């Protein structure tokens, strides 16, 4: 992740601040058990200094322009759409947008119900002949602007049956299956690696459950918070050695290559996937809310981070950390501009020692400092307590303070089971030129909720699009 990417993230963080304000307002009203929670939420929101928010937005817009990134002439809050994981209705008393939307609970580890009513993906074919996806064809259009990537012009597209003998969709799903190729989408593969720690979280995303004789697959994903079915073929770009040039697996399994291809189709091209954040990728893969936090934020202390890490460890939430810079190594083995999955966290020696285990999705190149595989700090007792194994597999341990020093951020993906979701678009109030949106949400009982904002733009597009307001609530 380069400096300009970090500047752009700072701009995006403004939307997260707005989301946090809304979240805090809803949760405060619920905690107070207000007899009129909607009015109470309105009172809390009325206290927010909106003018200050808009002033900050203008500063961030100038920051984008200074760094050569496109930005609109004003970052006024654009139209939103509300999305909720709830059992109750979404109510808009002013009549703007949809109302009366009710959806049943969706198990976020089982997507069969989530995509049952979703239309077939673009390019889907019910025929029995060999399938080639005309909407994402095996040519340079699907690769993207190849002028930016020397050598891509030589890629040759081949069907999976010509690449592998005995090819299958799944064999044994494992994070160790994943190998990154010539595409800078380590954040996506990091997210895939995090989910592969629980194989069912991968298999459930594939609507097509086995190798397709016609070479056509459907994969369930979420685009701007909405479930979509992405239809793809099994044609893959290959290099001079006849092997896939982008993501691949250590065995003759297709799930990694096809998942990456579906994500590329969702965003318009393979090139559009270069650069991103693992939390956002996992949200697109699972539909779950996520939280992205920067270590440079002085309000995000080491103790705060450790509490969140332990909660994620306890609840089984996927976690990932990222570094700044371009792909190269520092003197202690950590790759710059790279994403790592967080495997586990342990408090040892009465809480005095706080260790995190991370995985490089490349499956190689590990941390060489304190608590690394070759560190002399390990004792037989501590090794036994954490299940230490010395392997050249990309996995390593680090102390919390080293993680915060060498990494730039951490993402938490709140992948719950048994949550519900519903969605309705919202539009600005007629006659109000500010772009603000007002909606009433009935909170009928104490609950927990997340709020996030979605921007329906491709990863390679730097301008802001319309946003979505997302509320997530435990039944």
Contact 215, 234 (CB under 8 A): yes
User: Which is it for strands 248-249 and 178-179: parallel, antiparallel or unpaired?
Assistant: antiparallel
Q: How far apart, in Å, are the Cα atoms of 18 and each of 21, 22, 434, 450?
A: 5, 6, 16, 12
Annotated active-site residue in 338, 395, 416, 423: 338
Annotated active-site residue in 27, 57, 92, 360: 360
Annotated active-site residue in 186, 194, 321, 395: 186
Cβ-based neighbour number of residue 255 at 10 Å: 23
Contact 191, 278 (CB under 8 A): yes
CA nearest neighbour of 278 among 413, 383, 456, 440 = 413
CA nearest neighbour of 22 among 474, 466, 449 = 449
Q: How far apart are CA 109 and CA 203, in angstroms?
A: 9
Q: Per DSSP, which regions of 352-448 are E strands?
A: 353-359, 395-399, 409-413, 422-425
The H or E element spanning position 379 is none
Q: How far apart are CA 474 and CA 359, in angstroms?
A: 31
Instruction: Produce one character per residue of 182-202: b if its CB has 16 or more CB atoms within 10 Å, e if not.
Output: ebbbbbbbbbbbbbbbeeebb
CA torsion sign for 75, 78, 81, 84 is positive
186 is catalytic: yes
Q: Please, where are the H alpha helices in 213-354? A: 255-267, 278-286, 302-315
Q: How far apart are CA 295 and CA 281, in angstroms?
A: 20
432 burial type by CB count under 10 A (0-12 exposed, 13-18 middle, 19+ buried): exposed
360 is catalytic: yes
The H or E element spanning position 30 is helix 3-31
Q: How far apart are CA 192 and CA 310, in angstroms?
A: 21
338 is catalytic: yes
Q: Which residues are catalytic?
A: 186, 338, 360
């Amino acid at each position: 992740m380069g400096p300009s990417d970090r500047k752009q993230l700072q701009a995006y963080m403004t939307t997260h601040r707005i989301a946090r304000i809304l979240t805090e307002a809803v949760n405060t009203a619920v905690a107070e058990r207000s007899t009129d929670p909607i009015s109470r939420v309105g009172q809390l929101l009325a206290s927010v200094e909106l003018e200050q928010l808009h002033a900050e937005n203008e500063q961030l817009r100038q920051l984008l322009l200074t760094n050569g990134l496109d930005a609109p002439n004003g970052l006024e809050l654009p139209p939103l759409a509300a999305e909720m994981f709830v059992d109750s209705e979404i109510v808009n008393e002013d009549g703007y947008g949809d109302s009366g939307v009710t959806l049943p609970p969706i198990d976020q580890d089982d997507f069969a119900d989530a995509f049952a009513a979703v239309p077939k993906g673009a390019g889907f074919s019910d025929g029995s002949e060999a399938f080639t996806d005309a909407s994402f064809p095996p040519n340079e259009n699907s690769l993207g602007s190849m002028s930016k990537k020397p050598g891509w012009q030589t890629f040759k597209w081949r069907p999976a049956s010509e690449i592998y003998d005995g090819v299958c969709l799944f064999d044994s799903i494992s994070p160790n299956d994943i190998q990154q190729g010539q595409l800078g989408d380590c954040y996506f593969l990091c997210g895939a690696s995090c989910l592969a720690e629980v194989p069912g979280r991968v298999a459930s995303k594939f609507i097509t459950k086995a190798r397709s004789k016609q070479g056509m697959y459907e994969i369930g994903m979420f685009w701007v918070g909405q479930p979509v079915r992405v239809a793809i073929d099994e044609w893959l770009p290959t290099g001079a050695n006849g092997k896939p040039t982008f993501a691949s697996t250590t065995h003759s399994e297709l799930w990694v290559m096809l998942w990456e291809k579906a994500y590329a189709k969702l965003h318009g091209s393979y090139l559009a996937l270069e650069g991103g954040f693992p939390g956002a990728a996992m949200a697109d893969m699972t539909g779950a809310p996520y939280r992205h936090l920067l270590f440079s934020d002085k309000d995000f202390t080491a103790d705060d981070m450790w509490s969140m890490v332990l909660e994620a460890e306890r609840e089984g939430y996927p976690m990932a950390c990222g570094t700044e810079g371009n792909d190269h190594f520092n003197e202690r083995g950590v790759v710059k501009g790279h994403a790592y999955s967080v495997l586990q966290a342990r408090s040892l020696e009465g809480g005095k020692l706080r260790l995190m285990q991370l995985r490089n999705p490349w499956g190689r190149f590990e941390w060489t400092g304190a608590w690394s595989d070759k560190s002399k700090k390990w004792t037989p007792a501590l090794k036994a307590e954490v299940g230490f194994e010395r392997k050249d597999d990309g996995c390593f341990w680090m102390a919390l303070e080293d993680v915060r020093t060498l990494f730039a951020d951490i993402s938490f993906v709140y992948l719950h089971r048994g949550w519900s979701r519903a969605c309705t678009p919202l539009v600005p109030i007629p006659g109000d030129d500010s772009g603000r949106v007002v909606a009433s949400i009935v909170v009928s009982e104490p609950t927990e909720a997340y709020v996030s904002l979605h921007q329906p733009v491709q990863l390679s597009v730097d301008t802001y699009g319309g946003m979505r307001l997302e509320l997530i609530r435990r039944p």
